[in-house]
Structure 1
Amino acid sequence: MKTKDFALHVKDVAEDGLFEGYASVFGGEPDSYGDIVMPGAFALSLAKHKSEGTMPLMLWNHKSTELPIGVWIDMVEDGHGLLAKGQVDLDDPIGSRVHRAMKRNGLRGLSIGYETIAVKTDPKMPGVEFLETVDLWEVSPVNFPAKRDALITDVKSVRAEDFARRLRSGEPPTIKEFEDVLGDLGVPKALRTAIASHGYAKAIRSESEGAPPADVLLALRAAAASFR
């Protein structure tokens, strides 16, 4: 069984554990595995499940050795992808935690467990496979989707904007918070620790002594440049 992850865009979460969202999306850029899911990829599998009176399992992080954390009630392809409606088991400790995380927008993805049936390739796009037919076995809520770039960018943006706002307000974030921002930007741990504990610490000391924000920013840029 292969797995493929997608950012979770929950459309609605009810108090009784019902939720609705996309388990897969069609087209777009290749994911981190070099695959693109094509419209109709799930049609055969969904028809088979319907004829047998079954649905793909709802597992947590593909843990097939553990009991499902809920059930999928309906799945249908639309113009965007595979729209799934499910209900997590609120009496299950993991199911209850998943439900709370969904309500807080703290759950980051859904991942499909499947077997590839038919694929196509394009000489103009070497290394990319177009998944035309897959056998869908299960769909799992997961912490991190494979198409995670946009999601992480959102987190970076929020943290960086908050950092800038606090700096402008005269309440500079802590050295640890500055380290976290550098981490979001991909700076290695040893390097961001050195930048934060030297250059940033000096910059916020200057600000507390009355240095204008422009001087603080220049000090930060100089600190970062000195460790390149």
Structure 2
Amino acid sequence: MVPGLEVKFAGGAPILSDGHVIEGYASLFGLTDQGGDAVMRGAFAASLAKLSAKGDKVRMLWQHDPAKPIGVWDEIREDEKGLWVKGRLLPDVIQAREAAALIQAGAIDGLSIGYRTIRAERDQKGRRALAEVELWEVSLVTFPMLPEAKVGRKEAEDLREMADLFAIAADALRND
């Protein structure tokens, strides 16, 4: 059984009632991404505080597509390393099940942020140091702008188990 994943049966077919937890760094402070931007420590603080005060959340999307939410971010925080996120892929969403299978297979592990720049400075080489951003969403992506931004590897075994449960559910549905 996958920890944190409850399986119920209805009409002989398993129904997954909770999402699978994923976590990792969506952004790492001071590293320059492929677009020439580097996020500075504290850049997310005001945005996260504003969202919290409004009772709103950062969205979890598939490949930055606003029409494809695939889960929820339950925890987002800055630490000494970067922007750490923890959330759940929702098994009732087809794309979330596909994302879980792709993560489990090692085909995808990127995280990427969607934001609006509030304050930034350019250096002599044209790179931007992002001092403050308005964070909108964190996506699971194939190719993150910051290659080091990834889903945590420690979840790989749990994702393998989740993929096995999805396969069992699919077989049960085909045999009904």
RCO higher in structure (CA 8 A, sep ≥6): 2
Aligned counterpart, 2:90: 89
Aligned counterpart, 1:32: 34
TM-score normalised over the length of structure 1: 0.55
Does the 8 Å CA contact 2:102/2:108 hold for their aligned counterparts? Answer: yes
Aligned counterpart, 2:61: 59
In 2, Cα distance between equivalents of 1:19 and 1:85: 6
CA shift, 1:54, in A, is 1.1
Deviations 1:144-200 (A, max 9, x none): 122349x9xxxxxxxxxxxxxxxxxxxxxxxxxxxxxxxxxxxxxxxxxxxxxxxxx
1:77-226 matches, cutoff 5 A: 77-122=78-123, 125-148=124-147
Answer 1 or 2: which has greater strand percent: 2
Are 1:74 and 2:75 matched, yes or no? yes
TM-score normalised over the length of structure 2: 0.70
Deviations 1:1-25 (A, max 9, x none): xxxxxxxxxxxx9654111111111
In 1, Cα distance between equivalents of 2:38 and 2:68: 30
In 2, Cα distance between equivalents of 1:110 and 1:78: 17
Deviations 1:10-42 (A, max 9, x none): xxx9654111111111113x2211111100010
CA shift, 1:107, in A, is 1.3
Say which one has the larger Rg: 1
Percent identity (aligned): 43
Are 1:17 and 2:16 matched, yes or no? no
Over the residues paired in the alignment, what is the CA RMSD in angstroms?
2.0
In 1, Cα distance between equivalents of 2:147 and 2:74: 27
User: How many equivalent residue pairs?
Assistant: 134
